[in-house]
Structure 1
Amino acid sequence: MKNNLITPRRFWRTGTVAAALAVGLTSSCGKFLDVAPQGQPTSQQFFQTQADATVAVNAPYGKLREWNLSAFNWLAVTTLTSDDAEKGSVSGDAEFLNEFTFFRLTPTSGPVQGYWDGQYQQINLCNQVIQNVPGVNMDATLRGRYVGEAQFLRGLAYFNLVRAYGGVPLLLKVAETAEELNPSRATRDEVYTAIINDATAAAAVLPAAYGASDVGRATKGAALTLLAKAQLYQKNYAASLAASDQVLTLGYSLASNFYDMFRIRGENNSESIFEVQCTTLAGNCDASNSQWAECQMVRPQFGWGFFNPTSDLANAFEPGDQRRLGTILERGTTTPDGDVIAANSSNPRYNMKAYVPNSAPKTCGYGRDQNIRVFRLGEVLLLNAEAANELGQTAKALAAVNRVRTRAGLSALPGSISQADLRQAIWKERRVELALEYGDRFFDLVRQGRAATVLASKGFVAGKNELMPLPLNQITLSGGKLTQNPGY
C-alpha cells in the first residue's frame, strides 16, 4: 500500500522555514544572518501545532525522492563507481557520467556537488524537526516518534556522506551563527559516532510497525538496520551482530518471489524494512514521484536507458540463481509480466529492479510510482552472517546466509567451510542479492579492501578513489576551512 501522507505537497511550508538556512550553508556572508526572511515564517513561528510537526517530519521523506538523492547524481556516485553498472544510453548522451565509470571525476564534477547538496539539505530538514518539535504542544508519544524518525533520516544522510567523502562537517543542530554555518570537517570516526547515536536513539522510540496510513515511515527495524550496517563499516562486529539480531526478532520474513518483490505489487512486503515511497498524485506530477526507474529503463521503449548492468555482474550469478531474473533485464526477451523488450534497444541489459510493467499507469511518466528499496531482510541476514563469521560463529553465519541462498534456489554452503572462504562467499552473496538496489557495491569493495583490485580496469587509483572529492565550490565558500581529499 502506498502512503500518500508522506508527500511534498503537504510540506511546502516547511521548505520556506528551511530556505534561509539552505542559502546560508553555501554562503559565508554574515550579514544574511541579521535579516529575518521576508514573507516567510521563522522556525519559531512555524512550529506551533501537531499539524505543523507532521508537515515538518514529512519533509525529509519527500526529499529522498529528489534528483540528488535518487536519480542521476545519486546513481553516478553510488553505482557507476562499482563493477555492477556502466553509463548506458547511447554514445554522446550524458558523457559526464563516464567520469564516474572510469574514475575521471574531479572536484567540479556535477554529481559530486549534487550528491553533497542533497544530503545536507536533507540534514537541514531533519535538524529542524529534531530541534523544534520537542517544544510543540502535542501528543508526547507522537512527539518523541517524530524526533526519532528525523534522527533515523539524519543518520542515513550522514551514512551516505561519510561513505562517499570520509569525514564531513557535522551539523547536529540548526546552524545560526557564522561559525556554525562554516564548520570544519569532522573525522570519519566522529561522523560514524553521530550516525550510531542517531540510529540508537531512533530505535529506542520508533515502533516496530505502523497502521496502513503511515506505511513508509521509519521503524525500529529501519533504525536497527542502519545501526547494524554502520557498526559493520566500523568493524564493530559484536555491536553489528547484536543490532541485526534484534531486527531478526521483529517479524520480518523473506518474500517468496525475488522478481515480484521489486514490482509495484511487491512494495512494502513482509521483507521490506524501509522503502522510499513514490506515488502519483493526480494533477501534481512534481509532488511525490521519482525518476529512479525512468532514468534506468529500456531506451527508447520505456525510459532513458542509463545505469546498465555490466556483463561482469550478469556473469556473477551461479547457474539456477533466481535472483538473476530479478536483476538483469535483457533486450529481446519477454518479462514475466508480458512486456516484449525490443531486440534493437540501445543497450543489451537493464536494471530489472527498476522495471515497471508497461500496463502500469504513466500519468506522470514511466515508472514514477516505483518505490526505492533501501533496507530489507535479505540484507540484514547478510549483515548478520558477516558479523557472526568475523566473530568466529560459523554455524550462526551459515544459518543466516543459507536462508538467503535457499530463497534464491541455491544449495546451502557446507558446514565445513573455512572462515576465509565463508567471508568471500558472504561478500559474493551481498553483490548478487543487493545489486543495483541502493548503491552498496562500491562502498562494500572499499570497506573490504578490494576496490583497487576489482576496479583496476576502470582506472581506480589506490589512495585516492576510495573517496569522492569534496566539491570545489564548498571548499571555496568555506574560505579554505574545508580541506580536500588526497589525490584531488
Structure 2
Amino acid sequence: MKFKYLVAAAMMGMVVLPSCNNFLDITQENTNPTEAINYQDLSQMYAPVSGVYAVARSKFTQWEIAPIFNIRGDEVTKGGGSDADQHDYLELEHFNYSAIQNFWALNNAWMALYGVVYNTFDNQKLLDNFKPYLKTDKDQALYAQYRGEIVFHRALAYYFIANLWGDAPIIPEDNQMAVVIPKSSQQEIRSSVIDMLKDVLPALPAQQPEHPGAVTKYAAEMLIAKVALQTKDMATVKQMTDDIIANGGFKLVAGAEYSKLFQRDGKLSPESLYEFQYTDFGNASGDNIYGGSWFQSQGPRGGFAPITGWGFGTLEPGFIKFMKDRGEKMRYQVDVLESGKTTPEGDVIPLFNPSYAPYNGDTANYNGKAYNPANQTTPGRTQYGTDNNIRLFRYADVLLMNAEAKLSLGGDAATPLNQVRHRAGLQAIANPTLDDILNERRAELSVEWGNRFDDLVRTDKAKEVLKGFVKGQSEFLPYPTAQVDLNPELAK
C-alpha cells in the first residue's frame, strides 16, 4: 500500500494522500477522533465519509483556487497590494497562458482536485471494510448512502477538472498505481460524472437530519444539471431542476435573511443545497475548523481584525457599473463590499485606491460574499470569516438553470426567472431572452465557482465579452509543467 501512495504522489506532484487510517487523523464533524477502528461496529461506518468531507472542505477551498475559477470572467480582477503581487494571476486574467505553466497556484489547483479524487477512492475502500458485517436491509441502505456521499465528491472534483482543463486523466479505479495515464476528452469526463451520480442517486437521501448540510439527492441532481448545462442537454437540466423545485423544499430567502445569506447567520439557509462547513465550536480560542485563507485572501486591505485581509479578487469596475445600471440595490449590498464605506452592520472598510490597472487610483471594492461582519464573529476570534461556511450550490442557480432549459425547450421560463428577480427587488420580465437569463446569472451568481466564465464559454459569448479571449485557445488552462513532467501523456 505504501508503494501505491508513493507512485500516486509522484504523479500528482506531492499530493498528500491519506494513510489507511486517514480519517482518524482528521477532526470530524461534531465528533472526537477515535483511536482504533472496529469494522464490526457499524456506528463507526460514518468515519470514512467524514474524512471525505474534511478533505473536500480543505482542498476545494484553497485560497489560490478561487481566482483560478473566477478571474477569467468579467467580475473580478487580481487585486492585491501591487501589480507585482502574485502577478501570474494577471497573466491568467489576460489569457496569456504561456507565461503561467510554472505558476505554483495552477499546480496547486491540479493537485487539490486530483487529491480529492484519490481521497474518495481510499475512503471508499475503508468504507468497504464494513461490508462483511452488514446484517440488515437498513445496514445495506446506509452503506449505499455513505458510498453515494463519497462518490459525489469525486464527481464534483472531475466536474471542476473538466471545466478548467478540458481533456484530463480519469484515474482508473482498478489501477490507481498508474503513473502515466492518457487524457480523456472533456466530454468523456463529463459523461463519467453523470454516470457516477446516476449510479448513486437512488441511494442518496432527500434530507440529512442526522448530518445537516451533508450531500442529498438534490445536491447530486444539481450537479447533474450543471454538467448537462455545459453540454447543452437541456432535457436533463429541466428534469433535474424540475424535481428539485417540486420536491426539494428549498426556497429563496428574502429581506434581512437575504442580506445575511453569505454571512455566518446565513449558514445552511433554506436555499442551500450544499456548502463547505466550518466551525469555531462557539469558543473564543482553541479548536477551529476554518475556511482560512479563502476568506482572508478576499478580505479588505488595511482593516482591523477581524475585518481584514489581503485584498485579492477585487471587483471589476465594469461589474460595478453593470450592477448600478440595472438598478440593483438589495443584491448590490450582498455582492459588493465597498471600500471607504461603513457597512450596515457597522464595520468600517478602509478605502482602497490601487495604483495599478484597472483602477489606477480609483476605488476598488471587494467580494461581498466573502464578508462576515464583526458582530457575527465569536468574541476572541480575530480571523476574517471565522465560523462561516463557503457556499457551493444554491437554489437560485437551480431556478435560473430551470428557466434557461425551459426557454430552450419551449416552456414557462418567466416564472423561475422572476422568482429570482422578485427576491432581488426587480420587476418581472414577461418574455425573457437568453441574454436576460445570462444577465440574471451574472448578478445573482457573481464570483461563485467560475459560473460567469463557464456561461460565456458555453454560450459562445466569451470572444465578444472578454478582452484577450481567443476562441479555441482560451477556454482551458495550460497543464502545469510539473504535471507534464510526471505524466508525458498530458503533452499529447
Q: So what's the TM-score if we normalise by structure 1? A: 0.85
Q: Percent identity among equivalent residues? A: 29
Which whole-Å deviations, capped at 9, do the CAs of 1:440-469 have from their partners, x for residues lacking one?
11122111111122112xx22322110001
Q: Distance in 2 between matches of 1:290 and 1:47?
A: 34
Q: Distance in 2 between matches of 1:21 and 1:365?
A: 38
Which whole-Å deviations, capped at 9, do the CAs of 1:355-408 have from their partners, x for residues lacking one?
111231363622132211111110000010111111122xx2111101111111
The 5 A counterparts of 1:14-413 are 21-27=4-10, 48=39, 49-50=41-42, 53-66=45-58, 68-91=59-82, 92-105=84-97, 106-136=100-130, 137-138=133-134, 139-173=139-173, 175-177=175-177, 180-211=178-209, 213-249=210-246, 250-257=248-255, 258-280=258-280, 287-301=289-303, 302-317=308-323, 318-343=326-351, 348-359=364-375, 360-361=377-378, 363=381, 365-393=383-411, 396-413=412-429
Q: Which residue of 2 aligns with 1:3?
A: none
Query: Structure 1 stretches of 5 or more lacking a match?
Result: 1-16, 30-36
* Greater Cα offset, 107-116 or 49-58: 49-58
Contact 1:22 1:124 in 2 (8 A): no
TM-superposed deviation, 1:85 = 0.4
Q: Distance in 2 between matches of 1:133 and 1:153?
A: 15
Cα pair distance change 1:298/1:412, threshold 3 Å = same
Match of 1:468 among 474, 477, 480: 477
Amino acid at match of 1:309: L
Contact 1:131 1:173 in 2 (8 A): no
Cα pair distance change 1:424/1:109, threshold 3 Å = same
Contact 1:264 1:370 in 2 (8 A): yes
Contact 1:278 1:290 in 2 (8 A): no
Cα pair distance change 1:47/1:76, threshold 3 Å = farther
Cα pair distance change 1:234/1:176, threshold 3 Å = closer
Q: Distance in 1 between matches of 2:365 and 2:164?
A: 27
Cα pair distance change 1:47/1:27, threshold 3 Å = farther
Contact 1:21 1:175 in 2 (8 A): no
TM-superposed deviation, 1:321 = 4.2
Determine helix, strand or coil for the equivalent of 1:261: coil
Aligned length: 445
Contact 1:275 1:374 in 2 (8 A): yes
Determine helix, strand or coil for the equivalent of 2:313: strand
Q: Which residue of 2 aligns with 1:447?
A: 458
Q: Which residue of 2 aligns with 1:438?
A: 449
TM-superposed deviation, 1:203 = 2.4
TM-superposed deviation, 1:270 = 0.6
Q: Distance in 1 between matches of 2:345 and 2:391?
A: 20
Q: Which residue of 2 aligns with 1:4?
A: none
Amino acid at match of 2:234: Y
Q: Which residue of 1 aligns with 2:31?
A: none
TM-superposed deviation, 1:277 = 0.3
Determine helix, strand or coil for the equivalent of 1:325: helix
Cα pair distance change 1:22/1:432, threshold 3 Å = farther
Determine helix, strand or coil for the equivalent of 2:366: strand
Determine helix, strand or coil for the equivalent of 1:297: coil
Amino acid at match of 2:251: S
Q: Distance in 2 between matches of 1:41 and 1:270?
A: 35
Amino acid at match of 1:79: N
Cα pair distance change 1:80/1:481, threshold 3 Å = same
Contact 2:52 2:123 in 1 (8 A): no
Contact 2:339 2:352 in 1 (8 A): yes
Contact 1:56 1:125 in 2 (8 A): no
TM-superposed deviation, 1:278 = 1.5
Which whole-Å deviations, capped at 9, do the CAs of 1:253-303 have from their partners, x for residues lacking one?
111133211111011011110011011256655744432221101112111
Which whole-Å deviations, capped at 9, do the CAs of 1:2-40 have from their partners, x for residues lacking one?
xxxxxxxxxxxxxxx8x86554224379xxxxxxx9x96
Cα pair distance change 1:126/1:452, threshold 3 Å = same
Cα pair distance change 1:445/1:42, threshold 3 Å = closer
Cα pair distance change 1:222/1:198, threshold 3 Å = same
Amino acid at match of 1:339: D
Amino acid at match of 1:332: G
TM-superposed deviation, 1:483 = 2.7
Which whole-Å deviations, capped at 9, do the CAs of 1:19-74 have from their partners, x for residues lacking one?
86554224379xxxxxxx9x96699x9783545542221122222332x5224321
Q: So what's the TM-score if we normalise by structure 2? A: 0.84
